Amino acid sequence: MELKVLLLIFVVPVVWGYKSGLVTESCVDMKPHHGGQSPQTGPAPFTVTTEQNNYTQGDEIKVTLQSTGSTPFVGFLLQARESGGLLPVGSFVVTTNVAQLLNCNQKTNSAVSHTSNSPKYDIQVTWKPEASKDIKSIQFHATFVQNYQTFWVDVGSPVLKFTSAMSSGPLLVQSTSDPSSTSTTKTISSADCGVTKVCFSQPSGCDPAAISSCFFMSSMSPSSGTLHYEMSGPSDGYIAFGFSDDQMMGNDDIYICGIGSNGLVSVQHAFSRGKTTPQTLSLGNISNIEASMQQGVISCSFTSRNTISTERTTGINQMYYILFAYGSSSNGNIQVHRDTFVSSAKIDISKPQLLQNADFPQIMQAHGALMLIAWMTTSSLGMMVARYLKGMAKGRTLFGKDIWFVVHVTVMSLTVAETIIAFILAFSHVRGWAEGAHSVLGCLVMILALIQPTLALLRCAPQHPRRFLFNLSHAFIGVAAKGLGVAAIFTGLNKIDSTNYWLLKVMGGFVAWEALFYTLLELLVRWKNKTDVASSTLGSKKISVDVLLVVLYFLGNIAFLVALLSGIGTA
């Protein structure tokens, strides 16, 4: 019993010292004093990185301690030392409650350690150099503790060289649309694509040096473990490319070239979860950064020795799909991408080749075709019959109902069925909620399409004094669904035709065509209501005019529909 008490007395200070992070006794050798335990000799699953490769007086250096996999660290000690030296230099600033400042070798705030033994995957602190003329290259040194028995000592960062000329952070270039200004980025082009570098572009095979509307990225491997990336494209906010295990966004290792809150273009490293804003990561081992914006085209190039990781797959020589996205930004924060395209197959980014864009999925082609037929043709027919053609077969019935009513119910039921099927196809492909206006509009159309027949089944008799309420609501919901359906088609076509907008122009022509004939038919109805002519011959002529306008309208409708279906089929 006495032996147990003695052991407890000696062990408790060790445990609590390790948990609190107050480890000033480790300032010199960087070793945690864990009762004679020896440090690991193999590669550490943790890294020490900075956002830049050199620095100057007055810089604030972002330093990141990070797990390279799924293993967390619970304790750490970080110092900055002159390259080859043993004494800490500079001072740190922390902004998180999981890290605390220590005074090593009687220098204030010259080291950082943990505050508790909670699992940690990523810690970022800021280091400031000393106000001294005798400044040399420095290196950050860290100790990582995985558990009491397992720890790594003196894990070093790349050496940061001191320069008196410039800051070494990601190269920032003032964005400008002045054609006479000189870009600091070398010309990015499609030269040597498939020979010495991987290239991926939209439109496929375009040359960014010749076409300003070309979205382009390339990669080449000048040495083992090193990749040089280039990306370019027209955007008012950012362009980005990433590595993915599938053709959907989510769990992607990405690089962003975008305009910051200061109006300058810079490179960011991030990890995308798919449904939220990407998580910004440390740039890591990145160098030779060049960035600019010229006449609305953003360009970036840089060299990276970072490994690629999607969490499920890690390594430069692994197989990945390549994603490309672009969009706007607000005060330096990227917004939901305006458009994206993805490679048709997984590739090894270190092996030169030309990538092809993935075809527009057939299931989404079917979705688009059904929405076009529903809200361009069948819904228009149902609305025109109910509004303008009731008198065509007046007195004639089918299944005990007026023919116009049977036709109206049939084509509108078909419209609802087409919409439901299209919605299910899109939802099964995306496997969840997709961000953007198109998804919102599609859901609203789906809701109204279900409300409309439900209200029709519950309508009161034609002679009921409140029947006019149903008539008004039925007409309003029908027009609203039609308008939202057309808007959804526009946003959908924009997703697959964001380069020359041919499909959008055709859809715009259809809207103008439809507006023209609705206007003519509405004027004809108003004229007929004001003209009380009993002549059956004149009445026949009026009906003939109705029929003629409807026939002309549907000939044009079919022409526009075929053009759009062909465009979707070849997307």
CATH fold of 17-162 reads Immunoglobulin-like (2.60.40)
How high is the mean pLDDT of the chain? 81
| Ranges of H-type helices in 343-466 | 362-372, 379-388, 403-430, 437-457
Half-sphere exposure for 272 (CA within 13 Å, toward CB): 24
Across the range 60-68, mean pLDDT stands at: 89
CATH fold of 362-569 reads Four Helix Bundle (Hemerythrin (Met), subunit A) (1.20.120)
DSSP 370-390: HHHIIIIIIHHHHHHHHHH-T
Residues of the chain with CATH 2.60.40.1210: 173-348
Strands 161-162, 264-272: pairing is unpaired
Pick the residue with more confidence: 447 or 531?
A: 447
Structure tokens at 323: 């994603």
pLDDT at residue number 176? 35
Longest dimension (CA), the chain: 121
Range from 4-8, 380-384, 423-427, 539-543 carrying the lowest mean pLDDT: 4-8
- Whether 419 shows a pLDDT value over 60: the answer reads yes
- Whether 568 shows a pLDDT value over 60: the answer reads yes
- Whether 141 shows a pLDDT value over 90: the answer reads yes
- Whether 65 shows a pLDDT value over 80: the answer reads yes
Inter-residue contact 121 to 113 (CB < 8 Å)? no
pLDDT bucket at 21, cuts 50 / 70 / 90 = low
Amino acid at 63: V
pLDDT at residue number 165? 42
CATH fold of 173-348 reads Immunoglobulin-like (2.60.40)
pLDDT at residue number 533? 46
Inter-residue contact 412 to 379 (CB < 8 Å)? yes
pLDDT at residue number 7? 40
pLDDT digits (tens, 9 = 90+) for 381-412: 888 888 777 766 666 777 777 787 888 889 99
pLDDT digits (tens, 9 = 90+) for 70-83: 889 999 999 999 88
Pick the residue with more confidence: 363 or 420?
A: 420
- Whether 89 shows a pLDDT value over 70: the answer reads yes
Residues of the chain with CATH 1.20.120: 362-569
Across the range 484-505, mean pLDDT stands at: 79
pLDDT digits (tens, 9 = 90+) for 449-464: 999 889 888 888 888 8
Task: Check residue 275 and give left, alpha or beta (phi > 0: left; psi -120 to 50: alpha).
Answer: alpha
Q: CA–CA separation, 405 vs 224, rounded Å?
A: 73
- Whether 166 shows a pLDDT value over 70: the answer reads no
- Whether 174 shows a pLDDT value over 70: the answer reads no
Q: CA–CA separation, 559 vs 514, rounded Å?
A: 12
- The sign of the dihedral angle between the CA atoms of 408, 410, 413, 419 is negative
Pick the residue with more confidence: 463 or 299?
A: 299
Please tell me what DSSP assigns to residue 128.
E
- Whether 535 shows a pLDDT value over 90: the answer reads no
pLDDT at residue number 278? 87
pLDDT at residue number 534? 40
- Whether 140 shows a pLDDT value over 90: the answer reads yes
- Whether 14 shows a pLDDT value over 60: the answer reads no
Residues of the chain with CATH 2.60.40.4060: 17-162
pLDDT digits (tens, 9 = 90+) for 324-382: 999 988 887 888 887 788 888 888 998 999 887 765 667 788 888 899 999 989 988 88
pLDDT digits (tens, 9 = 90+) for 228-264: 999 999 998 999 999 998 877 788 999 999 998 878 8
pLDDT at residue number 463? 85
pLDDT > 90 in the chain, percent: 28
Q: CA–CA separation, 427 vs 269, rounded Å?
A: 31
Peptide bond preceding 88 in cis form (omega within 30 of 0): no
Per residue, what are the HEC states of 4-51? HHHHHHHHHHHHHHHHHCCCHHHCCCCCCCCCCCCCCCCCCCEEEEEC
* Strands in 119-272 per DSSP E: 122-128, 138-145, 151-156, 161-162, 173-174, 198-202, 215-223, 226-234, 238-244, 252-259, 264-272
- Whether 16 shows a pLDDT value over 50: the answer reads no
pLDDT at residue number 536? 43
- Whether 197 shows a pLDDT value over 90: the answer reads yes
